[in-house]
Amino acid sequence: MEPHVACIMPTYNRPDLIQEAIYSIFNQTYSSWSLHIRHDGPFVREYNIPTDDRIYFSSHKKRTASPATLRNHLLEEVLSLSFDVNHICFLDDDDMFSFDYMEKMVTALENSNADCVYCGRSYYNDGFYRGNYKNSVFHPIEVVNEILPAGKTGYLAMPDVMAKAHVFKDPQIRFHGRTWQFGCEDINLFSKMYLAGYTFTCLPEYLVKVRWHNSEEPNHSVLRGNNKFERLGDLRV
């Protein structure tokens, strides 16, 4: 029996962008998955969600304006499911997995003693040609041994990492509810994992496409060179 993967996805009124994200999961070569989508607030624009028992769509009672908060709620939901969840991953509503993301990431986790596996990612937006996304960004293998211990930021993004479910049974491994303001809730979480002693392994393949947010775009999450990243040190404790 295949290990079960639960994927967590917060969203807010982006029914057009989310389609590609959902179908990048729906079309996986791996079949033992569930997708947990939480809309931020009671107002929901029309979402064309595929009819599938593996997809759970819900709305938050009140607007939080915090994807980190939604992810924490969904983590509790996933951990309380009646069936066993073996691995957990994250995908934002404007990012995409390659069709073999889950198959390769699960295989890498199952064949190692590591708690987490991360893969390569690349960026796209209207200024990038999506067909060439694999050539845009290299994800360094040294990230765990050199980047995290040094406290440097900007290397591990949300969809890069799949973790064994037992990591999140540790109540300390949760998203910081305010880090969304600084675009580094993912870095904060993975730093917590590292500092708590959870181990990482690398799958040096490009399996994720992350939307690159220009400075004029609303709800941007990552801007290279943004001095807000310097605030990370204040958020890791």
18-46 tens-digit pLDDT: 999 999 999 999 999 999 999 988 877 77
Is a pLDDT exceeding 50 seen at residue 131?
no
Written as six digits, the tokens of 59 are 């709305």
High-pLDDT (> 70) share of the chain, %: 73
- Segment 125-152 mean pLDDT: 50
pLDDT tens sequence across 157-167: 788 899 999 99
Query: In this model, does residue 230 exceed pLDDT 70?
Result: no
Class of domain 5-212: alpha beta
Please calculate the CA angle 117-123-125 and round it to the nearest 5 degrees: 145
Residue-range domain boundaries for the chain? 5-212
Indicate the length of the chain as a whole number: 237
Entry pTM: 0.82
Going across the sheet that includes 161-164, the strands are 55-59, 33-39, 5-11, 87-90, 161-164, 116-124, 200-211, 96-97
